[in-house]
């Protein structure tokens, strides 16, 4: 599912597989670690074939020159052309108005607002908290004192 084009595979089938892989990646608990690994590979100039961390690599492979649709070439936030994290070759000029790729398929302007790794989004409560606490009350917060009007007299 996550690998690149298989031999003799139609382009539409590749897109369908990769769309499903991207959606599954977004739900994976290892997404942040996977994105860090992909960014490290991109900064080193190493191409990753297929989908990793819910997106394509920004490094072009010499074997896949004609398949630009399988590379991260534009920002997922603003659609501006991206300069790869590893930079461009000495003979290659970046496209006009290109922005630096910071990670997660986002440019330097969109990353602080839209990135998962930027820490702007609140973390979800742990699953164990949700399963063991169906009322939604925080067990670490002191409980409210009961209202004396609702107290039952025992006796």
pLDDT band at 122 (very low <50, low <70, confident <90, very high): very low
Identify whether the C-beta of residue 93 lies closer than 8 Å to the C-beta of residue 122: no
Beta strands, E only, the chain: 82-83, 99-103, 106-107
Could you give the 3-state DSSP secondary structure of residue 40?
A: helix
How far apart CA 82 and CA 64 sit, in angstroms, is 18
Mean pLDDT of the chain: 78
List the beta bridge partners of residue 99. Answer: 82
Percent of the chain at pLDDT > 90 equals: 16
pLDDT at 24 over 70: yes
What are the residue boundaries of the structural domains of the chain, listed by start?
11-119
Is the pLDDT confidence value at 9 over 80?
yes
Q: Is the pLDDT of residue 83 over 50?
A: yes
Q: pLDDT digit string (tens) for 26-45?
A: 888 899 899 999 999 988 98
């Amino acid at each position: 599912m996550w690998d690149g084009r298989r031999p003799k595979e139609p382009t539409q089938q590749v897109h369908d597989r990769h769309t499903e892989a991207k959606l599954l990646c977004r739900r994976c608990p290892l997404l942040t670690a996977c994105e860090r690994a992909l960014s490290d590979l991109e900064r080193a100039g190493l191409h990753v074939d297929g989908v990793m961390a819910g997106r394509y690599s920004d490094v072009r492979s010499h074997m896949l020159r004609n398949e630009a649709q399988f590379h991260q070439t534009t920002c997922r936030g603003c659609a501006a052309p991206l300069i790869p994290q590893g930079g461009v070759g000495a003979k290659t000029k970046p496209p006009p108005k290109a922005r630096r790729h910071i990670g997660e398929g986002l440019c330097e302007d969109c990353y602080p607002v839209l990135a998962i790794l930027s820490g702007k989004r609140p973390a979800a409560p742990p699953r164990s908290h949700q399963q063991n606490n169906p009322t939604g009350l925080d067990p670490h917060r002191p409980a409210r004192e009961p209202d004396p009007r609702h107290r039952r007299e025992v006796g």
